[in-house]
Chains A and B, each alone.
Chain A
């Protein structure tokens, strides 16, 4: 477990020293969310209606933007070989990397989303639901995306390939994530959507490190 936390700490430290990489995804999210109300106009009912969907799509694309770099730097400078040769289980180390990646690229989206939701005139309970659905949904995106990043490691034009690979797998998360806020707005209650998001999160956290480890071993051969 020490290696897990040490790796998380290392990756967080690296992220803080390479701020531009972290901020690019976040900045993208803010820009997308800010442009929609300007383009569509100030009609509150329309904005309330499209708000959750726009914010969820923005968060999804923003988290995909930072994915290709998840393993690439380690692969380039040779630290990936040391991860694979480490006596600690590779799955645990990979989980550490995914967790650190989510902390710097997913968690800020969760924190920012309610603020950006104000532009869409979302009521306060919908803002809370938006944050909750993103809190459960973005880790799923990180876990699934990590598999794509590991599979395309070292491939030229890997960034586009990651998008093609993982986008179809992101769709269910998007549907139930944005659906949770929609359901709350229409008075149906979002419990079912939240349960399904949770049901996607648990297997993703469990299986993703395992699949990534296998892909990373192949990438190094």
Chain B
């Protein structure tokens, strides 16, 4: 039973609480959008959920067990896309995707990586080093990881930033598909997102 639970989760920065302890449960097929002003702790919250940052109080559970105890199983089910994309400027888009997929424990072949990039409209640029691509194109390369991933839980930090209208639609499509396949989605965004189903909202710092 893969269910994400946060129990009395709170965050501190510089000795000051960023948000009051709060709990939530995310079940398969559910999505949750985290909103809040700049500096309200959205990114910190996502990093705590992933286990990258320590929690000030409370704990995060995956399938009923604390993620610190099931780190291996949790990391297999998790795909995290942060502010920095984790892409190498010197490598091409295909090389980046393949390297990332091996690290995520789900290696993909050259053809698969190419297909995912074509779906993002980057087929003709798949062999260029990433440093010649624009910011939005780089983000699309990172988002191509979503299509290749078999992870149940997607944690995305501002996935819609720097994307053009077409890419926003394409991304919404991918997210919808993920939810239809009983995936879980936790993301931050300032804009209204249409995922074809009701989305849980959590407004930080309110």
Contacts and interface: CB of A to CB of B under 8 A. Distances in A.
Interface of A: 2-3, 6-7, 10, 13-14, 17-18, 76-79, 81-88, 93, 220-221
B102 A82 contact: no
A220 B43 CA distance: 13
A82 B84 CA distance: 11
B103 A83 contact: yes
Nearest to B145: A82
A82 B75 CA distance: 10
Contacts of B50: 85
B103 A17 contact: no
Contacts, number: 77
Given A7-B102, A14-B90, A86-B104, 4 more contacts: A2-B102, A17-B90, A87-B72, A221-B54
Interface string B83-107: 1111111110001000110111101
A116 to B, nearest CB: 30
B154 interface: no
B52 interface: yes
Contacts of A2: 102, 107
A148 B100 CA distance: 26
Q: Is the interface of A mostly helix, strand, loop or mixed?
A: helix
Q: Is the interface of B mostly helix, strand, loop or mixed?
A: loop
Contact of B103 (A18, A76, A86): A86
Contact of A10 (B75, B85, B91): B91
A86 to B, nearest CB: 5
A77 B96 CA distance: 12
Given A10-B91, A85-B50, A87-B76, A77 B86 contact: yes
B78 A13 contact: no
B54 A82 contact: no
B72 A85 contact: no
Interface in B48-91: 50-54, 72, 75-76, 78, 80, 82-91
A87 B53 contact: no
A13 B52 contact: no
A3 B52 contact: no
B84 A86 contact: no
A93 B103 CA distance: 9
A3 B50 CA distance: 21
A6 B103 contact: yes
